[in-house]
Amino acid sequence: MTSNGAADVMVRVEGLRKSYGTVEAVRGVSLDVHRGQVVVVIGPSGCGKSTFLRCINLLETPSAGTLRVGDRTIDFGTPPADKGHAMPRGRDLARFRARIGMVFQQFDLFPHMTALGNVMSGPVIVKKVREAEAETIARNLLAKVGLANFTARFPRELSGGQQQRVAIARAMAMEPELMLFDEVTSALDPELVGEVLDVMKELALEGTTMIVVTHEMAFARDVADHVVVMDQGQVVEQGVAAEVLLQPKNARTVSFLSRFHSTIGERKA
């Protein structure tokens, strides 16, 4: 885990809100994520975790608050102020998103491209990297996620776990400063979950800055530096992973974690 100095902060979220009409999905969330840190966000379904993650990548436009990623700060103001000027557009938005890799519940691979083609696509299309160089990058990343022998396969020829590992490699090919993972194992058969989590654990060991939304409590216990618990759009508790998961202080955290008691308690040797 990195130091807590201000210079190490990769992501700073202050008072972030996201509303859909009269429904407020994210309600004043604040969070610092340090370089090399793994932050895991947990909480009951529908509590705003995924919406919060999508706001960081600006796939959703926050209704209010401040968002800083690296050296770029965006102030969305406070309701009912006019926030239209705050949201980056066009190439500016593309540059912002290029700093952030995101992997979703669904794999969203290009069905007409091989695994190699999918991983090459970002560097070639967005970053204008030469194809030969992009191919080297893609082959190295596919080998990294254990798919060196599957480069010529199309998504339909891969298992769900293999497709998700291709999706992770594709995100990493853009050399992002920050990786976001949104319930990336939720659509997988149980026997395929481990192979995806193993890749994420390896990225964590390499010092990749990560924010992970997940229900995999053993992963949170073993890998997270910091755990954030959300409920009804708000952060109800956050802190060092072991303290939050094993000695929660908030009643809603205790209630949520009670269903995972046996999983969290199974510590690795």
Q: Indicate if the pLDDT at residue 5 is higher than 60.
A: no
The alpha carbon of 107 is separated from its chain's Cα centroid by a whole number of angstroms, namely 14
**Angle between the 115-125 and 131-144 helix axes, to the nearest 10 degrees?**
130
pLDDT tens digits along 156-197: 999 999 999 999 999 999 999 999 999 999 989 988 999 999
Bridge-partner residues for 40, per DSSP? 212, 227
Which of 24, 32, 25, 93 is CA-nearest to residue 58? 93
Domain ranges in the chain? 6-99+177-265, 109-175
Q: Please report which confidence band the pLDDT of residue 268 belongs to, taking 50, 70 and 90 as the band edges.
A: very low
Burial class (CB in 10 A: 0-12, 13-18, 19+), 23: exposed
CA atoms within 13 A on the CB side of 98: 14
CA atoms within 13 A on the CB side of 96: 21
What CATH number belongs to 6-99+177-265?
Answer: 3.40.50.300
pLDDT tens digits along 192-245: 999 999 999 999 999 999 999 999 999 999 999 999 999 999 999 999 999 999
Which of 177, 171, 166 is CA-nearest to residue 207? 177
Amino acid at 218: A
